[in-house]
Structure formats: structure tokens, C-alpha cells
């Protein structure tokens, strides 16, 4: 079906859909890059493309030879440079918002246990890193820790994060109503906004949410401050009286 035309140019419904899909892909790609090291790389690559354009426009043979040879390995280099962003994008595509509509969410009793444990850890100034798995599996990270497979409880969580216990330095990963593993190693965020402002625990909490749709709860060992990370963003300094409500909202996001 032709929408409109001008002389020899015709614009059909298929063309409109094509443009919208391409625009959406670019939008999602740029959204993923926002606030990451990749955003800085994109600036550098854009400059290279501009230089390449002028090199071919003015027939600068030396630069043309250089860019022609770089093009053969450019795709592989892009995949390597943007590996975390590509992995995150594929993970998000793998579980769309349409599929999330059918996701039941965390059991309220489990959320109660988590909330009570976090509030207690906050009062005691015991550092904690609690990852709640949602739709994207975290098997690789589970395997980096000690398998537990025990029902979520306030007592178990607070015991794990008691200082000087064997597993208190890593993260626990919760799947539905089970703590599947403790002492897990998480990827550190490379977002420049968090590199200098926060310590390792907060960077790990943000890092896991950059690579999955998990919700991560962080309790500061220094101040007892409670933070929640989701989709690579961190909400910090959460009031204890509001924590459970905010956690429920994040789990349903």
C-alpha cells in the first residue's frame, strides 16, 4: 500500500515499518551505551568514520589503504569492544516486556524475609549483596559460589553476612523462594558514573544488573545505607521504612 509519492519516489507502508524498526534498533542501542565506556568508544569511532569519509572523498591514497584494511577486521573488533553491551541487549531481547507480563513476581513471604534481613543488616552495619534472579538465568554466577539451595529466611541471610563468616564477602543469589548460592562473584560495573563514587560491593551490585534483569540489594558495611540496583541504575540511600515498598516495585518493573 502506497502512503505517498513524489515524482519517482514512492513511500509505502512497508517502507514506514522498515524505518520505524531501524530507528527503534538505533534507539535501543544508544540507550544501552548511555553512561558506559562504550559511549566514549562510539565518539572515537564516529571521528574515524568522518576521517574515512574525507579520505575517500579527496582520494587520499594512504588513508584509503589504511581504512580499507581496517574494514576487514572492523566487525570482529566491534564485537570484542562492545561485548558487554551486546550481551545485555540480547538478554533483554530474549525476555521481552510482553513475556514479563506473564511473570508472577516474588512471593510476598519471600519478600518479607528478605526485607527483615536487609533492615537488620542495615542496623548492624553488616555489608550485604543480595541478588534476586528474575527472568534471565544466573547459572554462571551461581557456579562461582557455594551451592546452598535453602529456603529464604531472615535468619539464614543475616548469618551468611555476619562478618568473618566464610561466605560474607560474596553475593547470595535468590531464585524464587530459595537461596541457591552464596559467596558468588559478580561482574563489576564499568559505568564511569560509579567507578569513583562507590566501592567494590556497589559496583558489583550494579554490574550484575547491567548483564541481566536481576534486582540487586546492597547494604553498605560502612554506613548501613541500603541501595537497590536494576538495569544498570542504582538507587541509593533508601529509607528503611520505605525499603520493602521500593523492593516490591523494582521486582515488578
Query: Of the ranges 49-53, 120-124, 165-169, which is most confident?
Result: 120-124
- Is 253 within 8 Å of 116 (Cβ atoms)? no
Span 120-165, pLDDT tens digits = 999 999 999 999 999 888 888 999 999 999 999 999 999 999 999 9
Band of residue 68 on the pLDDT scale cut at 50, 70, 90: confident
SS3 at position 210: helix
SS3 at position 26: helix
Domains of the chain and any CATH numbers:
2-100 (no CATH), 108-251 (3.40.1700.10)
Task: With a cut of 50, say whether residue 96 has pLDDT above it.
Answer: no
Task: With a cut of 90, say whether residue 179 has pLDDT above it.
Answer: yes
Element (H, E) at 146: strand 146-151
Span 190-233, pLDDT tens digits = 888 887 788 899 999 999 999 888 999 999 999 999 999 999 99
- pTM of the shown model: 0.65
Band of residue 48 on the pLDDT scale cut at 50, 70, 90: confident
Q: What DSSP assignment string belongs to 160-208? A: HTSTTSTTTTSEEEEETTEEEEEEE--PPP--HHHHTTS-HHHHHHHHH
pLDDT at 108: 84
Q: All 3 cell numbers of residue 41?
A: 568508544
pLDDT at 67: 76
Element (H, E) at 128: strand 128-133
Amino acid at each position: 500500500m502506497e502512503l505517498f509519492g513524489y515524482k519517482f519516489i514512492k513511500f509505502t507502508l512497508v517502507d514506514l515499518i522498515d524505518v520505524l524498526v531501524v530507528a527503534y534498533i538505533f534507539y535501543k542501542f544508544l540507550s544501552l551505551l548511555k553512561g558506559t565506556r562504550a559511549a566514549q568508544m562510539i565518539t572515537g569511532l564516529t571521528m574515524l568514520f568522518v576521517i574515512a569519509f574525507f579520505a575517500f572523498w579527496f582520494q587520499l591514497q594512504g588513508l584509503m589503504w589504511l581504512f580499507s584494511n581496517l574494514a576487514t577486521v572492523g566487525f570482529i573488533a566491534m564485537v570484542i569492544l562492545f561485548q558487554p553491551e551486546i550481551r545485555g541487549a540480547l538478554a533483554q531481547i530474549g525476555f521481552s516486556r510482553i513475556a514479563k507480563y506473564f511473570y508472577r513476581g516474588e512471593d510476598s513471604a519471600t519478600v518479607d524475609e528478605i526485607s527483615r534481613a536487609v533492615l537488620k543488616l542495615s542496623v548492624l552495619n553488616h555489608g550485604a549483596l543480595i541478588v534476586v534472579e528474575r527472568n534471565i538465568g544466573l547459572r554462571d554466577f551461581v557456579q562461582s559460589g557455594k551451592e546452598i539451595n535453602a529456603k529464604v529466611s531472615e535468619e539464614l541471610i543475616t548469618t551468611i553476612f555476619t562478618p568473618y563468616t566464610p561466605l560474607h564477602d560474596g553475593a547470595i543469589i535468590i531464585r524464587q523462594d530459595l537461596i541457591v548460592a552464596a559467596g558468588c562473584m559478580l561482574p563489576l560495573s564499568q559505568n564511569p558514573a560509579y567507578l569513583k563514587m562507590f566501592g567494590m560491593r556497589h559496583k558489583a551490585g550494579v554490574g550484575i544488573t547491567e548483564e541481566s534483569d536481576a534486582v540487586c540489594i546492597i547494604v553498605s558495611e560502612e554506613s548501613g545505607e541500603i541501595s537497590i540496583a536494576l538495569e544498570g541504575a542504582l538507587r541509593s540511600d533508601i529509607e528503611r521504612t520505605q525499603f520493602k515498598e521500593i523492593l516490591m516495585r523494582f521486582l515488578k518493573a
